[in-house]
Structures are given as C-alpha cells and as structure tokens.
Structure 1
Amino acid sequence: MNSQRDGGYEMNGWMDGIQNAIRYIEDNITEDLNIEDIAACSYVSAFYFQRIFSVLCGVTIGEYIRNRRLTLAAQELSRENDKVINIAIKYGYESPDSFARAFARFHGVSPSAATKKGARLRAYAPLHIKISMEGGTMLEYKIAEKEAFTVMGKSKKFNTDTSYDEIPSFWREHMKSGENQIVCGMYGICMDVDGKIFDYLIADNYIPWNEIPNGYVTKVIPAGTWVIFPCHGALPKSLQDVNTKIWSEWLPNCREYRLGGNYSIELYAPFTENPEDTYCEIWVPIEKL
C-alpha cells in the first residue's frame, strides 16, 4: 500500500485504500466512527476521501454508515429477543425515539413491528468498490503552475453530508440578495476542512485597495501545481459530469501526481444567455510524485 508523503497523497492504489476504509467501517460499525480514522485507512485526507466516496458510491459516508447500522439493527431485532432500547444504543442512537424515527424512514415499519415474523425489512449490503473499463472516454485537462493569490468572498460552513444540496441554495441566496454586486462569483472554493465541516466561499479576486465589506473575508490560495478540468454546457450537469469523471476515471489512472492541499476551486466564466454555452473549470491541487 502507498502511504502519505510530504503532506500529499499518492494516487496509485488508492482504490484499495477506499476498500480498506469500508472494511474498517464494517469492523467497527457499532463504535463511535470518526471520519479522520476512516480516511486514514484509505491513504487520502478526510477532505478527499469524502468527495471520492460520494462520487464512487452515490451516497455520503454518513449515509452509508447510517444505512448499514439500520440494516444490522433490523436483522438483530428480527432474530433476537432483545429490547429495542438496547439495539438503539448499540447502533449509536441516544434514545429509542430517535432510533424509531430513523428506523421507520429506512424500513417503512417501526422497530417493534420488525420483531414480528414476516416483517418486510430493507437491507443495505456492504459496498465493494470495483472499476470497470467500458471503452475509452475523453477527459480534457491541463497542468498549470500558479502563483499564490488572494480572494475575497462570502464564506459559509457546510457539512459534507448535506453540502451538495445546500451549496446551490447558498449560491441562489447570494445572487438574489444583490450581493453579487459586491462579489459576482468568479470562484466557488472549498477549503479549511475540519472533519466533515468545511468552508465554502463565493469569491472574486481580491483588489487590495478596495475596502472589505462587513460579512466578507479574504483568503490566500497558496502557490502550487493544479490540474484544471474544463466544463462545457449547462450547469450543474456539466460540472457534476466532469467531477464524476475526475474521481472515478482520471485519479485512479494517474501515475505521475498525488493529491495536494485540502482545497479545490470551481472557476466560473461570465454567464451567457444560452445555458449550453456556459464555461467553467474545476481546479484540483496536485504534487509531482
């Protein structure tokens, strides 16, 4: 297995690392699972692990853990003579009520109903990561060296489990509020990761002689090497399609670079009247192996 080196992460064999992380979850499913400990098994940072996992598996890491726990809890309720509260505590729920609500949403029946013979229950099997080659696809990209630069923007904290739904709302609120007159939204930047929580900035290049308005912040993007992926077409589909290819196709096959810092950038060109003419880019920091 490859290991962390000089703050970056080797990409060779990281698919095996993701599977190691899933195995770790399964082995410790009734314990207090920490995203940093899970990611450490995958040989990538918690920031990148959560992004890669969501793209490859179609669910967030939090959803996966919850689905597996509720599957195993139902199996125990259906075959063992144990109290619901004991099963709830075993699988990380602080009260029978919170367990019952989550259980009913997942299985469509209450925990007590699951103890009865013939109850219909859902099962979410452990994931096994497998990449299949189904013919060549073209993914355009370029490697670029960039000096450090400073951005100014509106910052908000997000949880990785809900960010895909909440960040578009953040953009809509920003554009409708008229604050796009202060920051038009040249960049969307993920950075300052703390476990599942990260800062997302709607930002522009900072002009040093301009005053920083109340509620806005500046951030320095370090100098370094970036791999830049262009996206053509209507948003958010074009961005999401390229993002999926980055994590599921480009990264597994990269042998010259490792992932760099725990941040990534979306660059947006001025919007056009025809959505299909929209252009944007995804920037991922990398380091030479």
Structure 2
Amino acid sequence: MDWITGLQKAIDYIETNILESIDYEEVAKCAYSSSFHFQRIFSLLTGMTVGEYIRNRRLTLAGIELSISKSKIIDVSLKYCYETPESFAKAFTRFHGVTPSAAREPGANLKSFSRLSVKIIMEGGDVMDYKIVKKEAFKVIGKARSFSNDNSISYAELPKFWSESYSDGTLETLIKLIKSSNQVIGNAVLGICDSVNSVDSKHFNYSIGVESDVNEVPDGYSIIEIPASTWAVFKCVGAMPNAIQDMWQKIYSEFFPQSDYEPTQGIDFEYYPEGDNSKADYISEIWLPVRKKA
C-alpha cells in the first residue's frame, strides 16, 4: 500500500473514532506502518502532529455543538475527551478565542479546522539529487538518547541534544574515533534515528555518532549496528537545520509517491561531513533504507 492510500485510511480511522480515546498504534496500522514512522511522516506531510490534528478537529466539533445545542458544557467537554471542564475551557478558549459559554452567544466568532482529505496534485518541479546504493553492515559509536514520538516535542529537543554535544565535548570525542580506513560510508558525523530498538512504541532512539571499529568504547557511549541495506541517499545543499528539514518534506511528498521505491522503516540517518553547516553551500545527506515497491 502506498503512503497516499495509507494516510487517507488513517485519517478516516481518526475521524470515525474522534469521540473515543485514540490509540496511535491502531491509527498507524491503517497505514501498515509503525506508530513512530506514521507520526513522523504525518508531520512532514501536513505540518502538524497527529495530536494537534485530533485536538483541532475535536475543538471544531465542540464549537459547533455548543453554538447549535443546549448541551451542558461539562457534557460536551467529556464527549470530546477532556477530563475536566477546566481543561476543556482552556483549550477551547485558546483555539476559538472565546470561552465555551461565550460560544453560545448569537454571532459568536468561532474557528473551524476542516477534515483532512488526501489528494494527488501537480506539484514539485524541483530537482532532487539522489542515488540508490547498497552498503554492507557497519558499526557506529555514538551517544544515544530516547525521544518522544510526538514531533512537537522532539523537534525542540533534538537541536538541544546537538547543542549539548557541541558544548560538552561529545563531538570532539567522536571525531577522534572515526574509522581511518575501509570505511563503508565515509568520514562524517551521523544523526541516527532508530525506532526498532526503542524502549517502547511511544519513543525512538536518536544517536549522534561516527563510523568506527575501535575496541574500547568510552563511558557514556554505545555501539550502534547499522544493518546491510539498500539506501536512497538524498543530497541537501544549504544551512542547517532548514535545508535538511525541507529535504525530508520533499522526500515524502514528492519522491516516494512517484518513485519505484518505498521506505522500509528501519534505521535511517543524516550525514554531516566536516564544514560550516551555517553556510548556504554546506552539503549534507539523508540516508533512508528502501526496497522496490511490490
């Protein structure tokens, strides 16, 4: 199943169960995907998290109900999955700009967030530099941390992790450990995303590391096994983090819908060679494990 069809099935599932407690694992199954991978791609393609979409839809429907019915506010809050009228009122006011009680007034201005519908449209026209390569397995030494699948959280926390690694000497240590010969992928610092070996389905592991085969691993660091794979490698030109973020969005909105390849949802990584990553001509890469579409 391609991502367009899978995404629509997942959205339909959310809408059907909008008044229930929604399990992201069940949503992801509609797209034949892991929870991590679905939430990641949903955010890349829509510009919002799954949680934000669900919240905005519930508050839209709650606003309609309050404006046209005599339902009690406490009943509406429970119906749309808020534990208390206070938490509902806070979220409602933030979204609509008026309180739930004010929403009942004639002429009250309310906001509407429409249901998503996936459509294939003509877009793109951009040149994407990529290559398909096969690589044997290799080892990385890195520093790992667990992050929430909620992209609104991880987008803020991941840059902090990189900043800490610059300031606390982690990157300096890693660069000294780079394998000097017979490299599989080359001399670079990697940002490795791993949902396969995460502590649970609500988190993923992210490591900053380098290809290395040293025997002694420094305290606080670990070995990450990158399996042999067929990789789609995308060239990114531009300053970080915008260049890499823009490329991620293009990969899933333009490349995969039209390509003969699909992601395998394994370990993937960003590839950062030496250089000033704040420059407009800085070159980085995204490596994604892929397979031919059936």
**TM-score normalised over the length of structure 1:** 0.88
1:279 Cα deviation from its structure 2 partner: 1.4
Change in CA separation of 1:161 and 1:102 when aligned onto 2, cut-off 3 Å: farther
- The corresponding residue for 1:5 is none
CA distance in 1, matches of 2:72, 2:50: 28
Mean Cα deviation higher: 23-32 or 144-153 = 144-153
Change in CA separation of 1:138 and 1:40 when aligned onto 2, cut-off 3 Å: same
C-alpha contact 1:47 1:262 (8 A) present in aligned 2: no
1:222 Cα deviation from its structure 2 partner: 1.2
Change in CA separation of 1:52 and 1:274 when aligned onto 2, cut-off 3 Å: closer
Secondary structure of 2:219's aligned partner: coil
| Percentage of pairs with the same residue | 46
C-alpha contact 1:266 1:282 (8 A) present in aligned 2: yes
Change in CA separation of 1:274 and 1:42 when aligned onto 2, cut-off 3 Å: closer
* Aligned: 1:237 with 2:226: no
CA distance in 2, matches of 1:85, 1:203: 51
Secondary structure of 2:275's aligned partner: coil
- RMSD of the alignment, in Å? 2.0
Q: How many residues align?
A: 276
Tell me the amino acid that sits aligned with residue 150 of structure 1. Answer: K
Secondary structure of 1:67's aligned partner: helix
Larger relative contact order (Cα-Cα within 8 Å, sequence gap ≥ 6): 1
C-alpha contact 2:146 2:206 (8 A) present in aligned 1: yes
* Aligned: 1:84 with 2:73: yes
Q: Deviations over 1:17-47 (max 9, x none)?
A: 2111111111110111111211111233323
C-alpha contact 2:267 2:289 (8 A) present in aligned 1: yes
* Aligned: 1:172 with 2:163: yes
CA distance in 2, matches of 1:178, 1:235: 20
C-alpha contact 2:144 2:222 (8 A) present in aligned 1: yes
Tell me the amino acid that sits aligned with residue 201 of structure 1. Answer: S
Change in CA separation of 1:150 and 1:240 when aligned onto 2, cut-off 3 Å: same
Of 131, 141, 146, which aligns to 1:142? 131
- The corresponding residue for 1:278 is 282
C-alpha contact 2:36 2:203 (8 A) present in aligned 1: no
Secondary structure of 2:209's aligned partner: strand
**TM-score normalised over the length of structure 2:** 0.87
Change in CA separation of 1:218 and 1:101 when aligned onto 2, cut-off 3 Å: farther
Change in CA separation of 1:161 and 1:84 when aligned onto 2, cut-off 3 Å: farther
- The corresponding residue for 2:172 is 181
CA distance in 2, matches of 1:59, 1:48: 14
* Aligned: 1:202 with 2:204: no
* Aligned: 1:224 with 2:214: no
Mean Cα deviation higher: 180-189 or 216-225 = 180-189
User: Unaligned 5+ residue runs, structure 2?
Assistant: 176-187
- The corresponding residue for 2:185 is none
Secondary structure of 1:275's aligned partner: coil
